[in-house]
Every structure is written in C-alpha cells, then in structure tokens.
Chain A
C-alpha cells in the first residue's frame, strides 16, 4: 500500500506536536490532562477518517497506553462531529484531574450538548450547511460565557482572549468549508455511493445507505438525503447524457469544489506550448478518501 507511510508520519506528527506544545500548555496554566484529551480526540478523528490504514488501530502499544481512545466515536452522521464533542465533554466531566469549569457551567455544557443532539435529529440536509452558524452566535456564546468564568482570574487575559477568539473563529470558518468537503469524502469513501451532490452513481444512493447502516449515525438525515436522490438523479442524467461539454463547464464553474486535493510546494513550474511541467515536493494528497504523501512529484499536464 503506497500510503502505508501515512500512519507512521501522522503518528510522528501527532507525537511531535504534543511534545512541543507541552510547555505552552504549562505556560497557559492548562492541565496536562487537557493535552492528553486533545491527543486522544485528534487520534480518534484521524482513525475514523480512514484516510490511511492504521496498523495499531486494533491492538498496539499506543492504544494500550490510551485505553480510552475508542471511547470517543467520531460519529459520521450527516451533521458534523458535534456528537463527538459531547462525548469528549462527558469524558472531561468524568475526569477529576482535568481543568474543568465550575459545576454549573458543566451542567450547562452538558445540557447544550444534549440540545444540540436533539436538534440534529430534526435537521434536514439544507440545515446541515448552516449547522455551525448557531454555534458561533448562539449556543457557542453561552458555552464561552459559562466557561470564561474559569479563566477570568486576570482581566488582561480576558482582553487578549477576545481578539484571539475572533481570530480563532475566523480561522475556523475558513476551514469549515473545507471540512464539509472532507466529510463528504469520508462518507463517499465509506459506502462508495453516497455522493449525493455530483456522483452519477446517484441511483445507488439508497442501496448504499441501506447497505451501510453502521456508517449512518443518524437515520433521519440519511432518509432525507435519499429522498432528495431521485430529483438529482434526473439532473445528473440529463447533464451527463445530453451534453458533455456542459458537464465540463459545470465542473469548472465550481472548480475548487472538489474533494480531491493536493497540498504541496513547488520547485519549478514550466510551460512549453500547451504542456506544463511541475516539480512538486513535500505534498499531502487526499484522493478518493485516502491520504498519500510524497517527497517529490512530477506533474505533467496538458492545457
């Protein structure tokens, strides 16, 4: 498997980051258990993304050292990963060592987590995309307010906290679109025929959902998507059968809206007539739901 190095590299990066931010956590007065929770949560997401085969996934020294790793299911429901955050919260609550906020804010955290779960059951596919907006202005505000009490020891910290929070939210927002795409890829990869936006295998959508009940954290949403299927089916069939060039234009129209992405650096980009040659390096590729890494890659493209 050519992406077998991926697991090794990811393991190295996770450990390297955790090791190097240890001092930062101490500097911020954050307990080590929070860092451990970060590592667990990060690992769980990577494993659940299934972008690579993790040999240690079932039984190895890593999971042995972190017995709780599988207690954080990264639920692939069609609404995102907030169920997961509720699970991590529960673990933090259960962990007396963690720097937990006051009991009152814990209760509110747990409560809003539960509300979110309930809301998600009623979300339809459209609401899916606006899922994170209420988090920014509504419930998230409550969460931050409730928890900020534990950080309000110094006023100076609060002031910088606000601007940093704004920065973080901006940062997060810019990732969110990417994330939605990545998540679609994960779904597509898991059941093979669940690409309800563009895939011409749309007709298999229903079968795909039914055949993979384990992947569907939330049946309501899957039913919604399946119900949307036939209409999109017609669109797709019309586009692909009648007008190929139109189809291509569509592809170009939302040109960056693809789930296959290569992130890398270039040494050289040259062109002669319509032939392009690129010398690329240090790349991460996400192709068909799998991650690949390269030290060096040549790109030969015709325009």
Chain B
C-alpha cells in the first residue's frame, strides 16, 4: 500500500475540502476520523491525477533568494519569478516552491 504526500492539501482544492469537512464536523454530521480518512483519499486522488492525467509543462525562472533542504523537502523562495507555460506566461513578485522528493523513500 503506497503512501502519498500530504503536500497538496495546501492547494486550493485541498483547502476547500478541508474547510468543507470542517463545516460538517462542526455541524456534527461526520466524525474527525472520517474527515481524516477523506483527506487521505484526497492525497491519493490528487497525486494520481497529477502524475497520470496532467501533460502540461512549465518553465520557472527567477532569482533564488532563499533555499532550504530539510527532511528531504526542498523549499525555494524565488524573487521576480517568470512562469512559462505551453501557451502563455505570467510573473509575480515572489513565489515559494515546496518540493518533496519524487522518489519516495523505499522505492
């Protein structure tokens, strides 16, 4: 039984799910255990969808302000990043990149 990163819970989709689950807990309609199980399923579903259904490529350029490598997780803070996608591009003042190891321990 492979495990999945919880990383994507911080995404818009994961945050919205967490909030929806929380509302159901507060209302007494589900237990926290069930909510935690749902998040576990979310970890699996989003990980599989990203690896098997997404084909888009991107290039990120910018000035690396801060880097950190801790517990096999890279964190980069990029100043003035530029994002190039297949059909368009965008930029921002700053972006934080959180990257877990694609090769899971034990794989």
Give A residues with C-beta under 8 Å from B.
1-3, 5, 8-10, 12-14, 16-17, 20-21, 24-25, 28, 30, 34, 37-38, 41-42, 45-46, 49, 51, 81, 84-85, 88-89, 92, 98-101, 105, 109, 135, 140, 143-144, 146-148, 150-151, 157, 160-161, 164-165, 167-168, 171-172, 175, 178-179, 182, 248, 251-252, 255-256, 258, 260-267, 269, 276, 278, 280-288, 290-303
B66 at the interface (CB under 8 A from A): yes
B60 touches A299 (CB 8 A): yes
CB-CB under 8 A from A299, the residues of chain B are 59-61, 76, 78, 97
Chain B residues 62-107 with CB under 8 Å of chain A are 62-67, 69, 74-79, 81, 83, 85-88, 90, 92-103
Give Cα A2–Cα B46 distance, bound, in whole angstroms: 19
Q: Are A17 and B42 in contact (CB under 8 A)?
A: yes
A168/B35 in contact, CB under 8 A = yes
Do residues B23 and A84 form an inter-chain contact, with CB atoms below 8 A?
Answer: yes
> Which residues of chain B come closer than 8 Å to A1, judged between CB atoms?
87-88
Cross-chain contact B20 with A45 (CB below 8 angstroms): yes
B99 and A264 form a contact (CB under 8 A): yes
Tell me the complex Cα distance, A38–B24, Å: 8
Distance of A261 Cα from B63 Cα, bound (Å): 15
* B residues with CB within 8 A of A: 5, 7-13, 15-39, 41-42, 44-51, 53-67, 69, 74-79, 81, 83, 85-88, 90, 92-103
Closest 8 CB pairs of A and B: A147-B28, A168-B32, A45-B16, A2-B85, A301-B64, A164-B32, A265-B102, A297-B58
**Residues of chain B within 8 A of A30, CB atoms compared:** 29-30, 34
CB distance from B42 to the nearest CB of A (A): 5
- 28 CB contacts below 8 A, A to B, read A1-B88, A5-B54, A13-B42, A13-B45, A24-B37, A24-B38, A49-B16, A98-B29, A99-B29, A101-B28, A147-B28, A151-B31, A167-B32, A175-B15, A261-B97, A263-B10, A266-B74, A266-B100, A269-B99, A281-B102, A287-B83, A292-B58, A293-B56, A294-B57, A296-B58, A301-B64, A303-B64, A303-B67
A160 to B31 alpha-carbon distance, docked (Å): 10
Report if A276-B95 is in contact (Cβ < 8 Å); known contacts: A10-B13, A252-B77. no
Flag if A267 contacts B102 (CB, 8 Å). yes
Q: B residues within 8 A CB of A151?
A: 28, 31
